Structure 1
């Protein structure tokens, strides 16, 4: 058979017409997740550039994903204040927990108030707390077992 058969050519060209062009097969770019900081989302506060601006832009570009996420929600101010507190405590070799307790509490309350946005962080924090509780309980049980064994050994040694 020859490849110039009109029936097969027609079917072949129709199947190509029904196929999506390669660029469309990859997905619509409007469905791609965009960074709220870079996309200028309504949650992002717009601050006018300060001073040189370039150094600040470079600093923000180098920020971790967690920091960008935290600043992308409704708790940007609280998170920034917490960051400053932690940096000061580290610089002055102070205890971060003691120094930043009030600011951390404010940030946590803000995140709870904006739980729709911060849910992934709140869920991870809750899971970590539960894990720590389990580990503390396991450690406490081990200490109690050792104490009981130690007590039994002392009693046996005495008599």
Structure 2
């Protein structure tokens, strides 16, 4: 007998144990799952490639990086919808634009570069408008003066004919 007191259990040798063979339905299910997963991966990859190809402009990425991301996305949707339907974007998106500007001003610490650029553009536009007004005003003033002289001359000429 052996020196160990532990009872011996009879365990079959691995060579003699039956090997679990997956049924054909299990194999088909796994193959179907693999196909679905790989198809999803391919579709997702296509979407990612499209996004990369289109890419977001630096301005859009910047705008979405701050506290006005959702407001900017709503503004962006409004613009896209207006362009698609050939609508007047200024009129259609007036409220969305106002909401975006208000949000940007509330988060001025982040959006300062955009707000400063917008302010500079507004100032430049105001200067150009003022120059245009002055130019038109001087033309009108000059035009009115010469026009009124012509009227006076015509009136004087008519008076002289009546007197003669």
Give the greater-gyration-radius structure (CA): 2
State the match for 1:59 in structure 2. 51
Instruction: Note closer, same or farther for the CA distance 1:57–1:100 as it changes in structure 2 (3 Å cut).
Output: farther
In 1, the alpha carbon distance for the partners of 2:86 and 2:137 equals 36
State the match for 2:101 in structure 1. 108
Specify which structure has the higher proportion of helix.
Answer: 2
Q: Deviations over 1:13-49 (max 9, x none)?
A: xxxxxxxxxxxxxxxxxxxxxxxxxxxxxxxxxxxxx
In 2, the alpha carbon distance for the partners of 1:153 and 1:79 equals 53
State the match for 1:118 in structure 2. 111
Instruction: Note closer, same or farther for the CA distance 1:127–1:77 as it changes in structure 2 (3 Å cut).
Output: same
| Residue 53 of structure 1, CA deviation | 4.5
In 2, the alpha carbon distance for the partners of 1:110 and 1:94 equals 25
State the match for 1:14 in structure 2. none
State the match for 1:19 in structure 2. none
Alignment of 1:8-157 (within 5 A): 53-54=44-45, 55=47, 58-59=50-51, 62-157=55-150
> What is the TM-score when the length of structure 1 is the normalising length?
0.63
Unaligned runs of 5+ in 2: 1-42, 154-164
Q: Structure 1: which 4+ aligned runs deviate by more than 6 Å?
A: none
CA RMSD of aligned residues (A): 1.6
In 2, the alpha carbon distance for the partners of 1:127 and 1:97 equals 20
> What is the TM-score when the length of structure 2 is the normalising length?
0.62
Instruction: Note closer, same or farther for the CA distance 1:77–1:53 as it changes in structure 2 (3 Å cut).
Output: farther
Secondary structure at 1:82's aligned position in 2? helix
| Residue 108 of structure 1, CA deviation | 0.6
Between the two proteins, the alignment pairs up a number of residues equal to: 108
